[in-house]
Amino acid sequence: MERYFQEEIECAPREKILAIQNEKLVAQVKHVWDNVEYYRKKMQEKNLTPDDIKSVDDLYKLPMLSKADLKAAYPYGLLACPLKDCVRIQSTSGTTGKRVVAFYTLKDIDIWEECCARAIVAAGGTNEDVCQVSYGYGLFTGGPGLNGGSHKVGCLTVPTSSGNTERQIMFIMDLSATILCCTPSYAAYLGESMKEMGLTPEQIPLKAGIFGAEAWSEEMRRDIEKTLGIKAYDIYGLTEISGPGVSFECSAQTGMHINEDHFIAEIIDPNTGEVLPEGTQGELVFTSLDKEAFPLLRYRTRDICTLTREKCSCGRTHVKMTKPKGRSDDMLIIRGVNVFPSQIETVLMKNGYAANYQIIVDRINNTDTFDINVEMTPEMFTDNVAEVQNRKKVLESGLHSMLGIKAKVNLVAPKTITRSEGKAVRVIDKRKI
């Protein structure tokens, strides 16, 4: 029996969802026009006023937003509410050091958590469940989002946050946790660790997992399901739009339902910006329909995927998106964290190294490895081993604080980094996802 958190909306006929979207979009465009000068100017450049947007059919007329706009308007330029109404920020990495800061009112958080609750119920969660949230808590949206969703469902929530594997396993076993929320690579790691401890899938109390924030393959899903003895569900989201729960997987496990009463999804050609017909692969663009504090209209996610509106066996009517197949920019997602090569460049230059580097990402035992080859420069070289090692450590900690994850730096001889057609190959991603 498929369960829903809000059946009347999750299974609503298409006409009803469209009616909700039309109504909310008209109001949202007006809200943004009235309160966000940055976007109003963009609309004026296209000779648009809120009167030009009468329904979802007019959406294509609106200007699009990208990470570059978030950087230009940082930090308060896209805020649509007085600060007194905002209660929280969440943040993710930007392109060149400036972070993306998203604002939330109480209502924004409520809707976000509702979306996460839908995902938990779709994974079989009820108020009888013990839900362990092993996503990071803090600026990262994973922990706070699923934590709130778990509360809404009424699960006993175990906010372990990420890391400390031994303690994670202790709580899963001692409290008989039934739902696990974390990144797929961490789920795989937990599975391996439990297997090493001699725990069989039958002994592990978990029955479902909600895994997102990074790319994972069908093969990895089966692996995790087998070692933990669970059904593993995908979840998708981004800080700019709210966080996890923008879309989520149901029992069919054939794509993620986008919460269309809150977000409109479009697929565009990343080169021309032209809207593509449903079923075509392209870049995913989102419009927040009821965000108060940080309402982004037509935000380019840079994720490449396909939308399908085929009838789903779970009964939900909301459009489904495939797992993102890649990016239309150079962003990498490593261990769930967004990494831009330009960030690495910034740190290298700041530390006296050449901007000539190579990122090597691989996935070994289901965990991402992250190496950066950095060319040695005469400025950073001395005859003293300890000094060279110390400078390397300073670089590594600079990278860690910029990126939020640890990278292993390998010092290499100058001009050894492979170049093709005169241009350095910056990223070697060996992961087979």
Partner 1 sequence: MAVNQVSVFLENKPGTLNQMTEVLANGGINIRALSLADTNDFGIARLIVNDVYEATNVLKEANFVATFTPVLVYAISDETGGLNKLLKNFTAANVNVEYMYAFAGKKNAYMIFRVKDTKKSEALLAEKGLKSLSQEQIAEV
Note the residues at the interface with partner 1 (CB under 8 A).
376-378, 381-385, 388-389, 392, 410-416
**Minimum distance between the CB of residue 393 and partner 1, rounded to whole angstroms?**
11
- Residue 356 C-beta: closest distance to partner 1, Å: 12
Instruction: Compare residues 31 and 391 and give the one whose CB is closer to partner 1.
Output: 391
Nearer to partner 1, 366 or 373 (CB): 373
In 81-224, at which residue ranges do the beta strands (DSSP E only) sit? 86-92, 100-105, 130-133, 156-158, 179-182, 208-212
Q: Which is nearer to partner 1, 20 or 412 (CB)?
A: 412
Closer CB to partner 1, 326 or 414, in the complex: 414
Distance CA 184, CA 336 (A): 9
The smaller minimum CB distance to partner 1, of residues 1 and 413, is found at 413
Distance separating alpha carbons of residues 411 and 395, to the nearest angstrom? 11
For 222, the enclosing helix (H) or strand (E) is helix 218-228
In three-state secondary structure terms, 405 is: coil
Select 61 or 400, whichever has its Cβ closest to partner 1: 400
96 or 416: CB nearest partner 1: 416
Q: What SS3 state is found at 432?
A: coil
Residue nearer to partner 1 on the CB measure, 1 or 386: 386
Give the chain's length: 433
For residues 285 and 283, what is the distance between their CA atoms, to the nearest angstrom?
6
Q: How far is the CB of 410 from partner 1 (least distance, A)?
A: 6
Cβ neighbourhood burial of 252 (10 Å; 0-12, 13-18, 19+):
middle
How near is the Cβ of 311 to partner 1 at its closest, in Å? Answer: 56
- For the bound state, the minimum distance from the C-beta of residue 392 to partner 1, rounded and expressed in Å, comes to 7
Rounded-to-5 percentages of helix, strand, coil across the chain: 35, 25, 40
Alpha carbons 298 and 287: distance in angstroms, whole number: 5
* DSSP per-residue codes, 228-254: HTSEEEEEEE-TTT-SEEEEEE-TT-S
Q: Enter the tokens of residue 106.
A: 């109480």
Q: Nearest Cα to 404, choosing from 311, 332, 354?
A: 332
Query: How far is the first Cα of the chain from the last one, in angstroms, to the nearest whole number?
Result: 31
CB of residue 380 vs partner 1: minimum separation in angstroms?
A: 8
Say which amino acid occupies 141.
T
Q: How far is the CB of 394 from partner 1 (least distance, A)?
A: 15
Largest CA distance in the chain: 73
Report in angstroms how near the CB of residue 25 gets to partner 1 at its nearest. 55
Beta carbon of residue 383, minimum distance to partner 1 (angstroms, whole number): 4
Amino acid at 16: K
* Least distance (Å) between residue 409 CB and partner 1: 8
Q: Which is nearer to partner 1, 176 or 384 (CB)?
A: 384
Nearest residue (CB) to partner 1, 1 versus 385: 385
Q: What does the buried/exposed string (b/e) look like for 398-419 if buried means 16 or more CB atoms within 10 Å of the residue's CB?
A: bbeebbbbebebebeeeeebee
